[in-house]
């Protein structure tokens, strides 16, 4: 599936792991669901919104990557910006192909939006990045 491929690519990036303060990729706080129990200071959530299936053999949709940074760490806004920019560098491929044993070819993964906010209940700065994707079926 596409989410497993994307998570594997994020966990394989040593620069991103450094920004998340993680040494072992298997413990990287990158997941597909929000789990409010024992939340780390920095973590990433991936969500897919499936779009249309086209007769030419591909599907489209929107991938949303949410970056959470706790307000109690040093310079949380700068950390959020750095993590988000690294994700842009990893995934904003504009026509490149991404493929592994878990997914078919990704023909386009293009950034289409970024918003940020502060949640005063959980005390996290949140960056939400939207990518448009096209994959073969």
For 27-42, write each residue's pLDDT tens digit.
999 988 766 667 889 9
Output the domain CATH number for residue 121.
Answer: 3.30.2000.20
Residues 6+ apart with CB under 8 A from 22: 28, 29
What are the structure tokens assigned to 84, written together? 């988000």
What is the rounded average pLDDT for all residues in the chain? 85
What pTM did the predictor assign?
0.86
For 103-134, write each residue's pLDDT tens digit.
566 767 788 889 999 999 999 999 999 988 87
Number of domains present in the structure of the chain: 1
CA distance 113 to 107: 19
Q: Which domain holds residue 124?
A: 2-136
CA distance 60 to 82: 28
């Amino acid at each position: 599936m596409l989410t497993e491929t994307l998570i594997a690519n994020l966990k394989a990036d040593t620069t991103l792991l450094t920004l998340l303060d993680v040494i072992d990729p298997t413990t990287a706080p990158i997941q597909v669901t929000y789990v409010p129990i024992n939340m780390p200071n920095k973590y990433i959530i991936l969500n897919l919104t499936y779009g249309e299936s086209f007769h030419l053999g591909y599907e489209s949709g929107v991938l949303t990557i949410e970056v959470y940074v706790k307000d109690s760490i040093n310079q949380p806004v700068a950390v959020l910006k750095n993590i988000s920019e690294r994700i842009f560098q990893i995934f904003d491929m504009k026509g490149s192909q991404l493929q592994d044993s878990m997914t078919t070819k990704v023909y386009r993964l293009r950034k289409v939006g970024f918003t940020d906010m502060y949640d005063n209940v959980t005390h996290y700065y949140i960056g939400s990045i939207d990518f448009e994707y096209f994959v073969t079926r």
